[in-house]
Amino acid sequence: MADVRVGVEEIVGYSHELEDPRSSINQKHPFNAVVVIAVMAVLAGANGPTAIAHWAECKKSFLRDVLDLPNGVPCKDVFRRVLSLLKPAAFQKCFGNWLAALRSAAAADTGIERPIFAVDGKTLRRSHDRKNGLGALHSVSLWASEFGLSSGQVACAEKSNEITAIPELLRLVDVKGAIIAIDAMGTQKAIAAQIVDQGADYVSALKGNHEKLHGAVVEYFDRQFENDFVGVDARQYTTTAMAHGREETRRHVQLPVPRDLPDRELWKGMNTLGIAFTACMRDGKESQETRCYLSSLPMGVKRFAHSVRGHWAIENTCHWCLDVTFREDESRIRDEHLRENFAWLNRFALSLLKQHPAPNTIAGKRRGCSWNDDFLLEVLTGATT
């Protein structure tokens, strides 16, 4: 890892282009400092404006040393007002250069030239307000699987609205050269075309929502299996692994798209078809799952298999952490902008924690940020000692 990536001053500077949504009357606290304190507090375990203010009051001596706070630390009403008034898209945009720096550093550290960007939705189940007609927040996120970076999120009314949210999300992020791994809800012709137009490739799960195409792909694979792939350029890759008390065998098969596949010409850039068989043995019981995929990737079954596994990383290393460590599913923040901005703060904090090389768990790193000011600055700035 790089010795120093950014300093606190540069981090404060990331929010300079973001317009302060507060009235200029009786404005006591610098806007940039409010934003940075919010990020620090979430890293240290804060789960709302009141917790941010409480943490800031406990850490006021430290905060005065690293930030410009002419009138002391802000109170909870300042944090609530700022995070409620900020437009979520603008709030995310101010982190763009910061995320770009993190992505560049992660790419340099790992040597990965074509990262997997997983796209998936998540619902904050307790964020609803039925009395005022506010449904639970559902948002679609883009997660750089190998880097442990959340690159953006877009809120939508419910899961069915992911089809319109995904194109907006992709426009927020530079995905050139990446592989976009997407579930069946996002397997749409327009989304596939947008991914290709943005210079990326797609690996899209195919289910019954495209009944005719799904049936044709399944029939084609069945026919090739029966013929033992005679005359077809088939690639296969099988792995077996033991984890969490279960044995998983995964078999991936990749084929070129046949010329007579229905509506082939409507899927921009589609080059290959893939199928993934998963068999899981646990406590003497076996479960099996089969999934089909459309892809713009050229033949290369190991890359296809890696892309399929990369999509599951958003569930295992992002959503699981947000629910278990950040307790996000228990959040009762009900202000529309505030809950969306706080969901983004959680994802950004998770990204920063994952970049730090300490072998601790994410929960352990959050405790470290709460207990040790030097460790907090290491996580925030990317500096390591």
pLDDT tens digits along 302-335: 999 999 999 988 888 898 999 999 998 887 777 7
Residue type, 312: W
Q: Is residue 365 part of a domain?
A: yes
Q: Distance of alpha carbon 139 from its chain centroid, rounded?
A: 10
In whole angstroms, give the CA distance from residue 193 to residue 266: 9
| Residue range 203-243, pLDDT digits in tens | 999 998 899 999 999 999 999 999 999 989 999 999 998 87
Locate 207 and state its tokens. 């289910």
The parent domain of residue 12 ranges over 8-99+335-381
Q: Is the pLDDT of residue 5 over 50?
A: no
Residues 51 and 134 in one domain: no
Given 324, 350, 369, the domain boundary residue is 324
| Residue range 136-174, pLDDT digits in tens | 678 889 999 999 998 888 887 665 578 888 999 999 888
Identify the pLDDT of residue 100: 82
Give Cβ neighbours of residue 68 (< 8 Å, ≥ 6 apart).
30, 33
Residue 71 burial class via C-beta count within 10 angstroms: exposed 0-12, middle 13-18, buried 19 and up? exposed
Residues 227 and 347 in one domain: no
pLDDT range class, residue 377, cuts 50, 70, 90: very high
Q: Is residue 125 part of a domain?
A: yes
Q: How many CA atoms lie within 13 A of 60 on its CB side?
A: 11
In whole angstroms, give the CA distance from residue 35 to residue 12: 8
Residues 119 and 86 in one domain: no
Q: Is residue 275 part of a domain?
A: yes
Give Cβ neighbours of residue 168 (< 8 Å, ≥ 6 apart).
154
Residues 160 and 61 in one domain: no
Q: Is residue 330 part of a domain?
A: no
Per residue, the 3-state secondary structure of 244-273, as one string, reads CCEEEEEEEEEEECCCCCCCHHHCCCCCEE
Give Cβ neighbours of residue 128 (< 8 Å, ≥ 6 apart).
134, 135, 136, 334
pLDDT range class, residue 107, cuts 50, 70, 90: confident
Q: Is residue 242 part of a domain?
A: yes
Residues 75 and 185 in one domain: no
The CA R_g of the chain, rounded to the nearest whole Å, is: 23
Q: What is the pTM of this model?
A: 0.87
Tally the domains of the chain. 2
Give Cβ neighbours of residue 225 (< 8 Å, ≥ 6 apart).
none
Q: Which residue has the tokens 């792995």?
A: 239
Q: Is residue 268 part of a domain?
A: yes
Exposure class string for 224-263: b at 16+ Cβ within 10 A, else e = beeeebeeeebbebeeeeeeeeeebebbbbbbebeeebee
Q: Distance of alpha carbon 85 from its chain centroid, rounded?
A: 24
Residues 93 and 15 in one domain: yes
Given 295, 324, 353, the domain boundary residue is 324
Q: Is residue 329 part of a domain?
A: no
Q: Is residue 104 part of a domain?
A: no
